[in-house]
Amino acid sequence: MPFLVAVALAAVFTSGCAGPEEKLGRGVSNTFEPARMGEMRSSVEQTAIFESPSAAYTTGIIRGFDRTVARTAMGAYEVVTFPLPPYQPVLTSCVKPGPVYPESYKPGRISEGTFDTDTYMGFSGGDVAPFIPGSRFRVFDN
């Protein structure tokens, strides 16, 4: 019996944890959707383009709120169940698994010393404040 317990513990500790790790990361990211407001901005933009600009601030906001609630609920579900399989995204027919941004904006890296190799010379580039919704300010963007 002690041998079987040792083998079981070895199997648990040597097996990969990429599935639960990805599921937890995706869940935390989706849970913070109300702070990021990606679904809201994307829905307003898409409604203005494909329906009408006047419907963007009514229908687009309601659609964005609905999608934000769905993404937040999906994220909370993934955070609670991250140690349990399946590790693939759930509800992919309703909500895309990754973060959603408006088509007019794709965030880049934060401009800081970890990612910018030339900061000691005084030059760097990238997003200055990507955590602020609607921020499009970039330094040295070509």
The single residue listed with the structure tokens 């904006």 is 105
Q: What is the pLDDT of residue 33?
A: 92
- At 20, is the pLDDT very low, low, confident or very high (cuts 50, 70, 90)? confident
Tens digits of residue pLDDT in 120-134: 555 555 666 666 766
User: What does the mean pLDDT of the chain come to?
Assistant: 79
| Cβ-contact 20, 87 below 8 angstroms | yes
| Cβ-contact 79, 67 below 8 angstroms | no
Query: What distance in Å separates the CA atoms of residue 69 and residue 97, rounded to the nearest whole number?
Result: 14
Tens digits of residue pLDDT in 80-127: 998 888 888 888 888 888 888 888 777 777 666 566 665 555 555 566
- At 76, is the pLDDT very low, low, confident or very high (cuts 50, 70, 90)? very high
Q: How far apart are the first and last CA of the chain?
A: 64
